[in-house]
């Protein structure tokens, strides 16, 4: 399902002024002419609804900047710096959540944006019944509204808990409706599930003659995928935070995931295809996506790919995240005879889940020919320096990742990166502070590719994909007490197979000395697989919150093992080592506080909203 941002841009000039600059929960737009001329036919409803899709960030605005604000905006990829999996690649950039320096904001762009979208949704709902649409058309556009109403409220209760729930268009005179207290989470969650069930039953499927082919329209499968995600998240939040009725949501997730597993029985052969394809239209396992450049769209850009291929990435994996990746025999790095040790980068990457190679560049070194702006290179003559070249060539999809890595640019104009890991404070060939550098030694390049257009790099962005749905299903089946080897084969072992990792055998689970003893071994393996399959996609922080396991993020974040004076790291390098000395694990971040405050599991409401609405109360502890 294609999702193209261009109609959203066009819509902004048409009706965007109706919905912004409003601080109330709901407000009737003043431009009655636009309202009366928009909701008169299918095209009008379709044009109006494009704005709802701005809720899907996809690859927009997902990079990070230097400093301490990374991870403070919800539903961006960089929120995972608030977990144990990612770190900001810069000096003194510990997550404000982990440092426990979060304060109650005056305003909150995410909160305001969500309620702005909800105002627009309620406006459209108010005009459906009185429109001249057919009954089928009315059901469909009501289902579109219900899908996006559910999507926004699902995210709001995930962040804030109880939130004001408004399901009708309010006027300036409706003071009781404009200023309302928080609606209990349980009530909002029930509404969300009801809306999504209606959407599944009434959205036009792709096979419908009225479905807009090649459009960004949601369909029943997208609604099923959202139920899969929401049901798991809500059900496990309830279970681990002591709220009632978790099984209603777990059961809903299970049923939705099963339906999608029948409709999408296969995954793309390459993990990289999900994230770095010029066109996701025919990629197996993609339920819904957003299109950027190429494949019939205008040159609609995104900065994520360019940032990861230049200096703007600023994200590293942590050693804890890399240690989660299994060896190809299905054993952990602690138990597998295939693991060659982590005292140098080349050994550490041997015989690992290939999803690691698509997420962090394997180590190499070449000789670049003309300084730090080289476009050509020669080999060093040391076989170890190019020992991953052949592997990456075999694993590469069209326009995909090969070695040596290169910067953004059109073919022939890309600059060669001479070494990986390219440490900022080492700067071999003078490139460290300029291109694709790393602090931990595990640079995130999951979204790097060589898909080109006339103005830059592109790749379509998955919104819902089966890699997530399969892992949702594995976890929810465990939580419902129904996980067995058959389910493992249908879920975890499909994603493992794509990583070229041996299947999970429930009769012979490897002993992981890092396992949280409060988490059963089977559940630990399911959660491990989730972390790997969804690495750096913005799920990990929410996962730790819903499992009530944010204590994982109270451990020091480490990087690679290095020895100063070897492997191109000068003996006098300023790279900090855990415990001091010249050899050990890289350690840039401060030691976190030893415990996670209970109130930090929910976000605070912005002060401006509480000031405007006297009935809105703050989350306890903030």
Q: What DSSP assignment string belongs to 83-148?
A: SSSEEESSTT---TTTTT-----S--HHHHHHHHHHHHHHHHHHHHTTS---HHHHHHHHHHHHHH
Mean pLDDT over the full length of the chain: 90
Provide the pLDDT confidence category of residue 32 given band limits of 50, 70 and 90: very low
Q: At what angle do helices 109-128 and 135-160 cross, to 10 degrees?
A: 160
Helix (H) or strand (E) holding 419: strand 419-420
pLDDT of residue 457: 60
Please write the tens of the pLDDT for every residue from 483-511: 999 999 999 999 999 999 999 999 999 99
Average pLDDT over residues 10-37: 44
Q: Which is it for strands 286-290 and 86-88: parallel, antiparallel or unpaired?
A: unpaired
583 pLDDT above the threshold of 50 = yes
Q: How far apart are CA 134 and CA 363, in angstroms?
A: 60
Q: Are 559 and 316 in contact (CB under 8 A)?
A: yes
Average pLDDT over residues 222-251: 98
pLDDT of residue 65: 63
Please write the tens of the pLDDT for every residue from 321-354: 999 999 999 999 999 999 999 999 999 999 999 9
Q: Which residue, 399, 420, 465, 404, is CA-closest to 316?
A: 420
Please write the tens of the pLDDT for every residue from 253-301: 999 999 999 999 999 999 999 999 988 999 999 999 998 865 444 556 6
Dihedral angle of Cα 371, 376, 382, 388, to the nearest 10 degrees: 120
348: tokens are 């550490």
Range in 164-178, 390-404, 423-437 the model is least confident about: 164-178
Q: Are 353 and 364 in contact (CB under 8 A)?
A: no
Q: At what angle do helices 185-202 and 246-263 cross, to 10 degrees?
A: 20
Q: How far apart are CA 274 and CA 588, in angstroms?
A: 32
pLDDT of residue 171: 66
Q: For 4, phi and psi rounded to 5 degrees?
A: -110, 130
Q: Are 608 and 106 in contact (CB under 8 A)?
A: yes
Q: Are 451 and 457 in contact (CB under 8 A)?
A: yes
pLDDT of residue 486: 98
The HSE-up count of residue 192 (CA atoms within 13 Å, CB side) is 32
Q: How far apart are CA 476 and CA 26, in angstroms?
A: 36
pLDDT of residue 179: 85
Q: How far apart are CA 169 and CA 177, in angstroms?
A: 9
pLDDT top residue among 99 and 454: 99
The number of residues in the chain equals 622
94 pLDDT above the threshold of 90 = yes
- The residues, ordered by sequence, that sit 6+ positions from 475 with a Cβ below 8 Å of its Cβ are 232, 236, 523, 526, 527, 530
Average pLDDT over residues 294-311: 70
376: tokens are 């050509």
pLDDT top residue among 602 and 10: 602
Q: For 471, phi and psi rounded to 5 degrees?
A: -75, -35
Q: Are 27 and 19 in contact (CB under 8 A)?
A: no
Please write the tens of the pLDDT for every residue from 513-556: 999 999 999 999 999 999 999 999 999 999 999 999 999 999 99
The secondary structure of residue 291, as a DSSP letter, is B
pLDDT of residue 301: 65
pLDDT of residue 308: 87
Q: Are 267 and 512 in contact (CB under 8 A)?
A: no
The secondary structure of residue 186, as a DSSP letter, is H
Q: How far apart are CA 476 and CA 11, in angstroms?
A: 39
Q: For 288, phi and psi rounded to 5 degrees?
A: -155, 145
Q: How far apart are CA 621 and CA 615, in angstroms?
A: 18
pLDDT of residue 433: 85
Cα Rg of the chain, angstroms: 25
Paired with 465 in beta bridges are 286
Burial category of 221 from C-beta neighbours within 10 Å (exposed 0-12, middle 13-18, buried 19 and up): buried
Other C-beta atoms closer than 10 Å to the C-beta of 488 total 23
Burial category of 614 from C-beta neighbours within 10 Å (exposed 0-12, middle 13-18, buried 19 and up): exposed
Please write the tens of the pLDDT for every residue from 355-405: 999 999 999 999 998 777 788 999 999 999 999 999 999 999 988 899 999
Provide the pLDDT confidence category of residue 175 given band limits of 50, 70 and 90: low
Burial category of 282 from C-beta neighbours within 10 Å (exposed 0-12, middle 13-18, buried 19 and up): exposed
Q: How far apart are CA 189 and CA 184, in angstroms?
A: 9
- The residues, ordered by sequence, that sit 6+ positions from 596 with a Cβ below 8 Å of its Cβ are 550, 551, 553, 554
Q: Which residue, 290, 581, 532, 135, is CA-closest to 540?
A: 532
250 pLDDT above the threshold of 70 = yes
Q: For 260, phi and psi rounded to 5 degrees?
A: -70, -35
Average pLDDT over residues 183-206: 97
Decide: helix, strand or coil at residue 296.
coil
pLDDT of residue 223: 98
pLDDT of residue 18: 32
pLDDT of residue 14: 34
pLDDT of residue 205: 92
Q: How far apart are CA 385 and CA 441, in angstroms?
A: 16
555: tokens are 């451990």
Q: Which is it for strands 377-379 and 364-368: parallel, antiparallel or unpaired?
A: antiparallel
Q: Are 24 and 612 in contact (CB under 8 A)?
A: yes
Q: Which residue, 449, 452, 473, 17, is CA-closest to 232?
A: 473
Range in 200-209, 301-310, 429-438 the model is least confident about: 301-310
pLDDT of residue 462: 96
Q: Is the dihedral of CA 476, 489, 466, 443 positive or negative?
A: positive
């Amino acid at each position: 399902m294609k999702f193209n941002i261009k109609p959203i841009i066009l819509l902004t000039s048409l009706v965007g002024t109706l919905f912004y600059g409003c601080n109330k929960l709901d407000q009737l737009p003043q431009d009655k002419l636009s309202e009366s001329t928009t909701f008169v036919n299918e095209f009008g409803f379709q044009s109006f609804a494009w704005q709802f899709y701005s809720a899907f960030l996809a690859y927009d605005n997902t990079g990070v900047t230097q400093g301490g604000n990374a991870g403070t905006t919800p539903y961006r990829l960089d929120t995972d710096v608030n977990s144990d999996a990612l770190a900001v690649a810069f000096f003194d950039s510990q997550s404000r959540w982990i440092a426990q320096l979060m304060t109650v904001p005056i305003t909150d762009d995410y909160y305001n944006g969500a309620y702005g979208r909800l105002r627009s949704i309620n406006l459209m709902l108010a005009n459906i019944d009185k429109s001249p649409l057919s009954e089928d058309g009315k059901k469909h556009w009501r289902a579109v509204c219900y899908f996006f109403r559910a999507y926004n409220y699902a995210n709001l209760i995930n962040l804030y808990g109880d939130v004001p729930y408004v399901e009708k268009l309010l006027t300036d005179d409706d003071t009781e409706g404009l200023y309302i207290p928080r609606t209990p989470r349980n009530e909002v969650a029930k509404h969300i599930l009801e809306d999504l069930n209606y959407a599944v039953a009434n959205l036009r499927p792709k096979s419908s003659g009225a479905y807009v082919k090649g459009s960004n329209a949601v369909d029943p499968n997208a609604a099923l995928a959202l139920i899969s995600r929401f049901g798991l998240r809500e059900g496990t939040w309830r279970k681990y935070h002591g709220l009632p009725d978790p099984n209603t949501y777990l059961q809903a997730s299970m049923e939705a995931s099963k339906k999608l597993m029948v409709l999408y029985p296969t995954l793309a052969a390459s993990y990289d295809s999900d994230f770095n394809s010029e066109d996701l239209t025919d990629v197996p396992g993609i339920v819904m996506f957003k299109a950027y450049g190429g494949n019939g769209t205008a040159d609609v850009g995104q900065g994520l790919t360019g940032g990861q291929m230049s200096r703007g990435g600023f994200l590293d994996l942590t050693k804890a995240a890399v240690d989660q990746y299994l060896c190809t025999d299905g054993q952990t790095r602690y138990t597998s005879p295939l693991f060659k040790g982590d005292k140098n980068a080349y050994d550490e990457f041997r015989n690992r889940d290939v999803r690691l190679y698509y997420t962090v560049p394997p180590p190499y070194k070449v000789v670049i020919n003309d300084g730090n702006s080289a476009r050509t290179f020669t080999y060093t003559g040391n076989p170890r320096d190019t020992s991953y070249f052949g592997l990456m060539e075999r694993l590469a999809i069209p326009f995909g990742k090969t070695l040596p890595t290169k910067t953004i640019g059109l073919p022939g104009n890309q600059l060669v990166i001479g070494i990986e890991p390219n440490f900022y404070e080492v700067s071999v060939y003078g490139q460290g502070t300029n291109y694709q550098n790393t602090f931990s030694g595990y640079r995130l390049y999951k979204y790097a590719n060589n898909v080109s257009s006339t103005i830059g790099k592109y790749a379509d962005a998955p919104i819902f994909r089966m890699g997530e749905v399969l892992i949702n299903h594995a976890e929810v089946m465990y939580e419902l007490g129904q996980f067995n080897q058959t389910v493992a084969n249908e879920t975890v072992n499909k994603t493992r197979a794509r990583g070229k990792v041996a299947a999970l055998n429930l009769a012979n689970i490897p002993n992981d000395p890092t396992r949280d003893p409060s988490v059963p071994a089977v559940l630990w393996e399911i959660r491990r697989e989730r972390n790997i399959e969804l690495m750096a996609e913005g799920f990990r922080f929410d996962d730790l919150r819903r499992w009530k396991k944010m204590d994982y993020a109270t451990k020091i974040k480490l990087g690679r093992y290095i020895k100063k004076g070897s492997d191109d790291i000068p003996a006098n390098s300023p790279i900090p080592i855990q415990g001091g000395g010249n050899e050990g694990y890289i350690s840039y971040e401060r030691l976190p506080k030893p415990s996670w405050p209970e109130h930090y599991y929910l976000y605070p409401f912005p002060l401006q909203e509480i000031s405007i609405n006297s009935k809105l109360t703050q989350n306890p502890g903030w």
